[in-house]
Amino acid sequence: MSTAFSGEPAAARRRKRAETLRKRALSPLRILTMVLMLPVTTIGIAVGVYLRTSEFEREEATVHLIALAGCSAVESFVRGPFYEGQPGYHRRNDPDGDGIACGAPVPSPVQDTPPKQAEVPASRTVGNAKFLRP
């Protein structure tokens, strides 16, 4: 059946339109863009879900997320210190373990005596991981 507009049958126009759409959808550039944007999309969804489900208010939850990157990152937005149980506190940002993260630097004790040679222990721990000597 032919139409007055194009002179070709409707089925041929539909096939041509479908082929054009298929080529555009399966374009290597489009597929590469979608693959490269997947981590960005995933992070965006995760942050959105965290902000909605966090026990903190939205601004506090944002500070808490930024504090995961470290004290220097969060202090460019909000000054510390951050106390244990409050937004912005993470154990890894609390080097002395006193419950205050990103506070004033703790002065190291002055040593009058020369440092002793450390004995090599049979096993040592770093954080929560235990390393055994072979």
**Other Cβ atoms closer than 10 A to 79:** 9
Given a contact cutoff of 8 angstroms between Cβ atoms, the answer to whether 90 and 73 are in contact is: no
Give me the tens of pLDDT residue by residue for the chain, a chain 134 residues long.
444 555 678 898 999 999 998 888 888 999 999 999 999 999 999 999 999 998 889 999 998 999 988 888 888 888 878 898 888 888 888 888 888 888 766 555 555 565 666 665 555 555 666 666 66
Q: Give domain status of residue 20, yes or no.
A: no
Contacts of 52 (CB under 8 A, 6+ apart): none
Contact predicate 82/64, CB 8 Å: no
Q: Is residue 59 part of a domain?
A: yes
Residue 78 belongs to a domain: yes
Angstrom distance (rounded) from CA 74 to CA 80? 8
On whether residue 81 sits in a domain, the answer given is yes
Number of compact structural domains in the chain: 1
- Residue 82: count of CB within 10 angstroms of its CB: 25
Residue 26 lies in a domain: no
List the domain range (segments joined by +) for residue 101: 54-105
Q: What's this model's pTM, rounded to 2 decimal places?
A: 0.52
42 located within any domain = no
